Amino acid sequence: MSENKRELIFKEDGQEYAQVLRMLGNGRLEAHCFDGRKRLCTIRGQIRKRVWINQEDIVLVGLREYQDEKADVIMKYYPDEVRALKQYGELPEQLRVNEGGDFEDYDENIQFTKEGAQSSEEDKSESDVDLDEI
């Protein structure tokens, strides 16, 4: 993945780090903020269709003064930025992060065959039906 290196942004007053618990659709998500609260968050229009946010991602949210149970997603942190925030002591050490999208972790021994091709007779099970026999 070739992400552009960007400056690491730390939280300010009225902002909090959060981990996405589940996506709710329509630009909303449920997140566990690291101040101990669970909040309903709205993805801002500026990043709504430009940045894809998934479950377990770390985001920066802007808190609302008038609604403590709601917040707005300001930005998403990439895995290398999350590691840097952990090193600076901004995030809890026991935090597990979904590394997402890297194909290096997948099994390299997967073998693909042409559709409908069988490698041997013993691979065929009794539940397989041959359309030529019908």
Domains in the chain, CATH or no CATH each: 15-95 (2.40.50.140)
The pLDDT value given to residue 61: 96
Rounded average pLDDT over 20-44: 94
The pLDDT confidence band at residue 103, using thresholds 50, 70 and 90, is very low
Identify the weakest region by mean pLDDT among 19-23, 34-38, 120-124, 130-134: 120-124
- As to burial, measured by CB atoms within 10 angstroms (0-12 exposed, 13-18 middle, 19+ buried), residue 21 is middle
Which of 72 and 3 is assigned the larger pLDDT? 72
Which residue type sits at 90? Answer: E
Instruction: Encode pLDDT of 51-100 as tens digits.
Output: 999 999 999 999 999 999 999 999 999 999 999 999 999 988 887 776 55
Q: How confident is the model at residue 46 (pLDDT cuts 50, 70, 90)?
A: confident
Query: How much is the pLDDT for 102?
Result: 42
The DSSP annotation for 38-86 comes to EEEEEE-HHHHTTS---TT-EEEEEEPSS-TTEEEEEEEE-HHHHHHHH
Which has more confidence, 3 or 31? Answer: 31
Mean pLDDT of 108-114: 59
* Nearest Cα residue to 12 out of 65, 57, 63, 88: 63
Cα–Cα distance measured from residue 81 to residue 5, given in angstroms and rounded to the nearest whole number: 10
Average pLDDT of the residues in 100-122: 52
Q: Give the chain's length.
A: 134
